Amino acid sequence: MFDMFNEENASAMEENYAATSSSSSSGASYSSSYNANSKGFVISVGGSVFIGEKPFVDKISEFCSVVNDLSGEFNLVLVVGGGRTCRVYQEVAKDLGANNFELDKIGIASTKLNTLLFTYKIDKASSVLDGVSEAKKVIEMGKIPVFGGINEGQTTDAVGALIAESLGYDFVNLSNVDGIYDCDPNENEDAVLFKELSFSDMNFLVREKLLVPGQHLFVDPQAASILSRSKIISYFLNGDHLENFKNALRSYDYKGTIVHDVEDLIEKDSPLGEEARAEKVIDELDEIPIRKTRKRVTKTKEIDPREIDFGK
């Protein structure tokens, strides 16, 4: 049966490949849209923004249209979380006897399933990728790398942070709140939004929130550590407000939190009173008063890390 691969057929195959390559290198080629000098963003999308009882088709479609528009201005990477898909399957798997490692594998599979939905509407989307190092090659082809989870014990925010670190891109976290608050805005109407934070501030807030069981975390500790060690400019925005999302990437006015290399804005050691803390923050930010971070309370109850809500 190997006679079919004779010299004549091999020559024909080479000619056909050359013709195909020539066609793909024409104006329709994706690589023509790649610009090494363009600003880059890794967009980490919380699954809760687009996945409810079932995926929100209209919201996914609208978001993908925005990504298509922005891809003409910036180099983009998309990472999608698990959301309710992940939680439902993990609960069932746990009831069936899955251990924690196996639950992580379920989580990774659910993020890839969610990610696949976005590839149908993003014009230049790659297939769902499995390795951080793959992103650069895909971008150089003029495509948009898309990821779900990669490794057990790692959130999609951590995946996004690693990709941003490897490429030198900014990091964008899209969730169902407007940014980083001093407390959960879904439970406290007096919660105050931080407009900017230092990396030290961000890590401080993550540690404080870890002390409270069931507390919503705006980003997980591993991702925060990666963002901090390489001082990756990070935006925390509401994924429901797409015009605001576009404004942030275009450096227009926007509502959200930016974490970047600035002096600390939160006093971590000084026991300032409620009023004194508010006055200090007003002086530094010229913004509305920011309430004092609650005093750390020692808990005797052991905290199960799997009970912490990472908002994914």
- At 256-298, the pLDDT tens digits run 999 999 999 988 764 433 443 444 444 444 444 444 444 444 4
pTM assigned to the model:
0.76
Radius of gyration of the chain (CA): 22
What is the per-residue pLDDT across 190-234, written as a single tens digit (0 to 9) for each? 999 999 999 999 999 998 887 665 556 899 999 999 999 999 999
Q: How is residue 193 written in tokens? A: 């939004």
Pairing of strands 125-129, 75-80: unpaired
The closest of 169, 179, 175, 177 to 201, measured between CA atoms, is 179
Q: What are phi and psi of 55, to 5 degrees?
A: -60, 140
Note the pLDDT of residue 187: 84
Mean pLDDT by runs of 10 across the 312 residues of the chain is 42 42 39 70 94 94 98 97 93 96 96 97 97 96 97 95 98 96 86 95 89 71 96 98 98 97 83 40 45 44 50 50
Query: ∠154-308-108 over CA atoms, to 5°?
Result: 30
pLDDT of residue 203: 94
Fold category of 38-307 in CATH = Carbamate kinase (3.40.1160)
Contacts of 45 (CB under 8 A, 6+ apart): 63, 78, 79, 80, 81, 174, 239
